[in-house]
A and B are shown apart, each in its own frame.
Chain A
Amino acid sequence: MSAGTTATGPNRKRTQINWFKYSSPQTFFPLAAKLAPWFGAAAALLCLAGLYISFFVAPTDAQQGDAYRIIFIHVPAAWMSMFLYVVMAFWAGAGLVFNTRLSGMMASAIAPSGALMTFIALWTGALWGKPTWGTWWVWDARLTSELILLFLYFGFMALQAAIDDPRRADKAGAVLALTGVVNIPIIYFSVQWWNTLHQGSSVSMKSAPTMAATMFAGMIVMALGFWMYSIAVTLLRVRCIILERERRSDWVAQYARTLK
């Protein structure tokens, strides 16, 4: 809607963006192809810059030595694991409400990347825990709730894979995804609510980060890189899912004719 227009009635002019245009798989398919390389390039540049800061700019930690450098992938991966779950649940919920096909495809496209980020967070956490805590794993609230997140991703994918009709698979998956959202604040606040071996957050919205500025910068740049990577991979995957689900449609047949 254009700002400042007060005219009403049949004669009013307004520019409207049709937000639903790209909610159809057919129109989103070429858009995803155009966007993916840009997000991929941004991811590569940010991750390279992040790696440079992680190893050559950020100083060695006084207490943890160089083992702390794991933070530069552990924290971004953990953030993305939670963020991707919320985005996945959002698309799944949008699919339930609006009954749009693309929403369910987006949710399905995000799940494997979310599971990967969760696995990376757990894996790097174990490798960080061994030298600093003396153990690979403890059943404390933060670690356990993050493990449950991994199982939620697996459960979502397994449920969808078990149902032949994709539209019904979307609906069943959406209910599971939306229910699982309750786990996200549990993970986030676990270090405040319970006594955990896992440290509290070094970064919060309320106060300055309790870490050196270069360490903080490295973490943020890597997190942005992981974010761009997740978008690029999700776009690539949603293109595959679109083709798989719509392969019998006319537009895919038309598209196939343009392939060499």
Chain B
Amino acid sequence: MNWASWNDFFAMGGYALYVWGSFGVTLVLMVMEMLLLILRKRSLFGQLRRTLGARRVAQ
């Protein structure tokens, strides 16, 4: 085990800004990419449903 305590873990031997800045930003970006794609898919499905509804009304 590398760390004596959680504080020790978060301090990262004095490099907290650099290590957590790297891992944190990477995590945020990856989660954001996933979320944006899920939202994009949802809005596309919504559009498809609306155009389908419009076609049914027109028929």
Interface residues in chain A, defined as those with a beta carbon under 8 Å from any beta carbon in chain B: 51, 55-56, 58-60, 65-67, 69-70, 73-74, 77, 112-113, 116, 119-120, 123-124, 127-128, 130-131, 229, 233, 236-237, 239-240, 243-244, 247, 252-253, 255-257, 259
Closest beta carbon of chain A to B14's beta carbon, Å: 7
Q: Is the CB of B51 within 8 A of A256?
A: yes
A247 to B14, CA, bound (A): 53
Q: Is the CB of A233 within 8 A of B34?
A: yes
Q: Is the CB of B40 within 8 A of A66?
A: no
Q: Is the CB of A244 within 8 A of B44?
A: yes
A124 to B26, CA, bound (A): 8
Pick from B13, B19, B55 the residue with the most CB of A within 10 Å.
B19
Q: Is the CB of B29 within 8 A of A66?
A: no
Interface residues in chain B, defined as those with a beta carbon under 8 Å from any beta carbon in chain A: 1-3, 9, 12-15, 17-19, 21-23, 25-26, 29-30, 33-34, 37-38, 40-41, 44-45, 47-49, 51-52, 55
Q: Is the CB of B18 within 8 A of A119?
A: no
Q: Is the CB of B37 within 8 A of A256?
A: no
Q: Is the CB of A128 within 8 A of B18?
A: yes
Among B2, B18, B23, the residue within 8 A (CB) of A67 is B18
